[in-house]
Amino acid sequence: MNDFDFLIGSWNVANRQLKELFTGCEEWDHYAATAECHSFFEGGGNFDEIVFPSGSRGATLRLYDVEAKEWSLYWTNSKGRLFPPVVGGFDGPTGVFEGDDTHDGEPIRARFVWSGTDTDAPRWEQFFSKDGGQTWESNWVMEFSRR
């Protein structure tokens, strides 16, 4: 239930984001951000807010389902869009979470992978799949360092 305790606190976040999805693009945008994460429900939930250099913001709500023994992660942005959740859990310091979403009106699978959660430099990576999860395109990486 306390899998995300590593994330509680203040962070600098180095972002690398693919410029175009599903086109074979190999160009990435690089930018810094800051994040704050807070725990609730004695570790069974947490909330973070990330502030990007553009002034836009994003937030993730993470909730642990005690009966199912899995996490649901909900991402939203300051434009008011709440994205469908990704669901999963941790095996050691790596967590994998997947769910259905859309891109340009087409169905996709989304995957979030947390790694290095047992270090001072955890990493989050987002992948999308257009073929039901047979192949994945990495499109966003966040590398965290404590502020």
Q: How confident is the model at residue 81 (pLDDT cuts 50, 70, 90)?
A: very high
Residue 83 reports pLDDT greater than 90:
yes
Task: Compute the Cα dihedral for 21, 141, 128, 9 and give only its sign.
Answer: negative
Q: Which residue has the tokens 């979030």?
A: 112
Distance CA 123, CA 56 (A): 21
Q: How confident is the model at residue 143 (pLDDT cuts 50, 70, 90)?
A: very high
Burial of 105 (0-12, 13-18, 19+ CB in 10 A): exposed
> Helices (H) and strands (E) in the chain — how many of each?
0, 10
Instruction: Please name the residues in contact with 57: beta carbons below 8 A apart, sequence gap of 6 or more.
Output: 49, 50, 51, 77, 78
Q: What are phi and psi of 3, to 5 degrees?
A: -55, -30
Burial of 114 (0-12, 13-18, 19+ CB in 10 A): buried
Distance CA 44, CA 24 (A): 39
pLDDT at 1: 83
Q: Which CATH superfamily is domain 3-19+30-146 in?
A: Calycin beta-barrel core domain (2.40.128.20)
35-78 pLDDT per residue, tens: 999 999 999 999 999 999 999 999 999 999 999 999 999 999 99
Span 4-13, mean pLDDT? 97
Q: How confident is the model at residue 13 (pLDDT cuts 50, 70, 90)?
A: very high
This prediction has a pTM of 0.94
94-133 pLDDT per residue, tens: 999 999 999 999 999 999 999 999 999 999 999 999 999 9
Terminal CA-CA length for the chain: 25
